[in-house]
Amino acid sequence: MAQPRLLSGIQPTGNLHLGNYLGAIRNWVNLQAGHDCYLFMADLHAVTVPHDPALLAHNVRKVAATYIACGIDPQVSTIFVQSHLPAHSELAWLFNCITPLNWLERMIQFKEKAVKQGENVSVGLQNYPVLQAADILLYEPDFVPVGEDQKQHLELTRDIAHRFNHLFGEKSPKGSDQPLLKVPEPLIQKAGARVMSLSDGSKKMSKSDPSELSRIDLTDSPELLQKKIKKCRTDPQRGLEFDNPDRPECHNLLTLYMLLSGQAKDTVAADCADLGWGQFKPLLTETLIEHLSPIRVQYEALMADTDYLDGVLRQGRDRANTVASLTLERVKNAMGFMKPL
């Protein structure tokens, strides 16, 4: 029996941080044993807002090295670069032609990002979710693990698949019992894995926050980890607790400690109930260093071995292409395109 298939991706727009790890990559590593995983670097999405051409390729390698350093096994899972498969752009174009404009005008993330771009907001930013639908539907995954913020994009993907099947499904060579495009299920990561900013416990930890001290990168040295925890925002109360809405920083730091140390919430709550910040911070620092050091060491080794890393991405592209090219061909046939001569 074939394993259920899973697909997800991250935009290569800078260093990956603890939020990417605890909210996404770590779950993929855990799912890897029972699933056929397709994991990619969404570099075509990274250019929907202004980007630096001198950094794009480097950032793609950085994300690939981070996946592997965190435990994604390239022999088991397929790791690839989105732009290495023209099928993504091509299917996105075909979907563009059947997606009503008003579906895209409703997208919350577009509205939020568009505000920041002012007059220069690109057509690509508006189209972003259509490209994401192509990324997903090309591989016929059963599940798409994403964070809460991507839920609307997953719903749009499902709407596009349904619409496409409705418009062109009858010509499906697979027969009428199987839809032309498989409609995937979102796998929304639970809220416990939401990692908040170190400078403001009510905001998400983010690659785009201008303050480096607001986030923990997976490749931070022990010295830097120590400094960031020392400087992170706390409150004047003694005793630590989960789930107090007036103490978002306290909840966030305890959650980090819980997730990284692998202890149950009750245990952490009991052990930390009487601790002051001066006692808790060294404990958290120690746990962070212990957990992240092996990842950093492996990451650095991979970044120094470009041949190996590029070999992984070449193999990933070839494997991905065997799946993607079949779906694209089926779609083009169903739409009635002339076969290439």
Q: Which is nearer to ligand TRP, 132 or 189 (CB)?
A: 132
What's the chain's length in residues? 341
Q: Does 45 bind ligand TRP (CB under 6 A)?
A: yes
Radius of gyration (C-alpha) of the chain in whole angstroms:
22
Here's the x/- map for ligand TRP, 137-156, by CB under 6 A: it reads as -------x-x---x------
Burial class (CB in 10 A: 0-12, 13-18, 19+), 289: middle
Q: At closest approach, how far in Å is the CB of 338 from ligand TRP?
A: 30
Cross-strand pairs, 6: 37, 143
Q: Is-contact 62 56, C-beta < 8 A?
A: no
Q: At closest approach, how far in Å is the CB of 74 from ligand TRP?
A: 19
Active site includes 111? Answer: no
Q: Is-contact 24 9, C-beta < 8 A?
A: no
Q: Which is nearer to ligand TRP, 36 or 135 (CB)?
A: 135
CA separation, residue 186 to residues 136, 147, 154, 193 (Å): 11, 10, 6, 16
Region from 130-138, 213-221, 224-232, 303-311 binding ligand TRP, contact rule CB under 6 A: 130-138
- Using CB under 6 A, pick the residue from 22, 136, 181, 205 that binds ligand TRP: 136
Active site includes 203? Answer: no
Q: Does 189 bind ligand TRP (CB under 6 A)?
A: no
Q: Which is nearer to ligand TRP, 70 or 254 (CB)?
A: 70
CA separation, residue 291 to residues 95, 226, 257 (Å): 42, 13, 11
Q: At closest approach, how far in Å is the CB of 97 from ligand TRP?
A: 20
Q: Does 9 bind ligand TRP (CB under 6 A)?
A: yes
C-alpha to C-alpha distance for 138 and 87, rounded to whole angstroms: 8
The residue type found at 123 is: V
Region from 2-10, 59-67, 259-267, 284-292 binding ligand TRP, contact rule CB under 6 A: 2-10
Catalytic residue, chosen from 204, 227, 265, 281, is 204
Q: Is-contact 228 281, C-beta < 8 A?
A: no
Catalytic residue, chosen from 111, 116, 171, 207, is 207
Q: At closest approach, how far in Å is the CB of 13 from ligand TRP?
A: 9
Q: At closest approach, how far in Å is the CB of 314 from ligand TRP?
A: 21
C-alpha to C-alpha distance for 175 and 168, rounded to whole angstroms: 12
Contacts with ligand TRP in 64-123 (CB under 6 A)?
none
Which tokens is 260 given? 């990284």
Active site includes 174? Answer: no
CA separation, residue 40 to residues 57, 106, 137, 139, 310 (Å): 14, 26, 14, 12, 14
SS3 content of the chain, % helix, strand, coil (to 5): 60, 10, 30
Q: At closest approach, how far in Å is the CB of 301 from ligand TRP?
A: 27
Q: Which is nearer to ligand TRP, 109 or 298 (CB)?
A: 109
- Using CB under 6 A, pick the residue from 17, 35, 92, 135 that binds ligand TRP: 135
Q: Does 220 bind ligand TRP (CB under 6 A)?
A: no
Q: Is-contact 285 229, C-beta < 8 A?
A: yes
Q: Which residues are marked as active site?
A: 113, 204, 207
Q: Which residues bind ligand TRP (CB under 6 A)?
A: 7-9, 11, 42, 45, 132, 135-136, 144, 146, 150
